[in-house]
Structure 1
């Protein structure tokens, strides 16, 4: 009975937040003053339908990535159920906490339905987010590299160098979390008094991802799935532009 009440309360919260977001959006001056008749007249139906379809396909790639990471930890959840939990996370991602709130929501929602697996679920959500960010950065670097080397846009070299630096820093940070040797070296740095308060946080993060040390192949596969998500999202963005009649070269959608 208590579980049913909690489920009902959660659904009511979702409805209330949804209505609140809708009211907030339509109260904005830019929305209220827009010529919706003219805007809707420019909308092309088939690109919009295709974009919507591919959008949910992109979500499916994200779900597949998360499912793969969960299976690595012996947590088996049907794809359809995991898709629903991911949609819950996307819903809460519209709130001010954005991605953090969405990750907490989908992890909590899944943990409610899978008893005794709270810890591995929390780890999977964290690693899923890290792998997703890595895939995004990797595809951004590859896109900029193509623009500079093959399209002759040398003016973007600085952006390529910046993205490559960020990706390298991200990879090093992930290695610091995963490697036992690097962990011991980093813990010595945290012996410095100004950094000492952050030592428990670093240790907790490192402990969380250590379970994937023996499953490096799973991380690589998850990275590939994440890259598929990025590519699919690029196509969705292109179709969204086509829907409203914007002229955007398809190639540049993949690059930017």
Structure 2
């Protein structure tokens, strides 16, 4: 008899690990004095900055919904902006409470695949590409911020390694995309054999066709890239506002490097839901490098913001559990193809 744990047991073990990680990190933060809740009283005197932070975060959700709408359009799937923004907020709710940092993507992929049964591969790929643009924007912003904060970067080897990694990824991903979409590469005998074998598997073939669809929409890809960077800048601006509720005088320039670096680590699937504990620990550690001792509290205010907006997503989810074809309008291209 095999003594290996089954899938359910593995899930329970992994969940227990995530919970233990979150509890352990919060214990360290409190014991080390890096999370002093009494300092939060300062936010009441600077509530206008807290309000402005909410505006910036809402901007990220609207831009995310718009980016996803365009990526869906390239798949001949047409959602109204109100639906993509609503689904984005529902996805944000799942990011905070379930599945870890990828919970929102899993929900969005499920919802759009269910709403568009004739093209589930296109819906799933749109979510994956949406995620890829978000991660690529983090790497690009880290590179730009590293140049602007060169002395700070040089003084901290940990960030210097991340800077070099970001350069590698930012160069490798566009090259990989170019190779994938290149007509010259596709004409090679080896690639033809690979693609022909993939087409034998229904799901793999659908995903390949869905990815291939973006070759015809370079403007959508460029627009998505620009919006992705804008979204990350809004996240940085939100964090600057949250810091302003706690501090009157600080240098905001390191935020351009620290916030994307922390969010990149928070995006790793091994994190607890909402990067609970890991976000606060990362902020406390990274902001100390810049001489800011309240990084853990900045992360805590960010978490309160995230939870508040996830409740909006939860309300949308409860009020409209089924995103059916009523919410989905096929584009003219899809109608012709049908």
1:228 to 227, 230, 238: 230
The gaps in structure 1 that reach 5 residues or longer are 1-20
1:161 paired with 2:161, answer no
Report if the CA contact (8 A) 2:112-2:124 is conserved: no
- TM-score with structure 1 length normalisation? 0.71
Cα 1:158–1:124 change in 2 (3 A) is closer
Tell me, in whole angstroms, the C-alpha distance in 2 between the residues paired with 1:141 and 1:120.
31
1:121 is matched with which residue? Answer: 123
Tell me the secondary structure at the aligned position of residue 93 of structure 1. helix
Q: Deviations over 1:34-65 (max 9, x none)?
A: 875x2441223111111112111111111111
Tell me, in whole angstroms, the C-alpha distance in 2 between the residues paired with 1:246 and 1:185.
61
1:219 to 211, 218, 221: 221
2:41 is matched with which residue? Answer: 41
1:143 is matched with which residue? Answer: 145
- TM-score with structure 2 length normalisation? 0.55
1:242 is matched with which residue? Answer: 244
1:83 is matched with which residue? Answer: 85
1:173 paired with 2:180, answer no
Report if the CA contact (8 A) 2:53-2:241 is conserved: yes
Structure with a larger share of its residues in helix: 1
Aligned residue pair count: 223
The gaps in structure 2 that reach 5 residues or longer are 1-18, 259-338
Report if the CA contact (8 A) 2:181-2:212 is conserved: yes
Tell me the secondary structure at the aligned position of residue 230 of structure 1. helix
Tell me, in whole angstroms, the C-alpha distance in 1 between the residues paired with 2:140 and 2:27.
38
1:220 CA displacement: 0.9
Tell me the secondary structure at the aligned position of residue 217 of structure 2. helix
1:56 paired with 2:58, answer yes
107-116 or 48-57: bigger deviation: 107-116
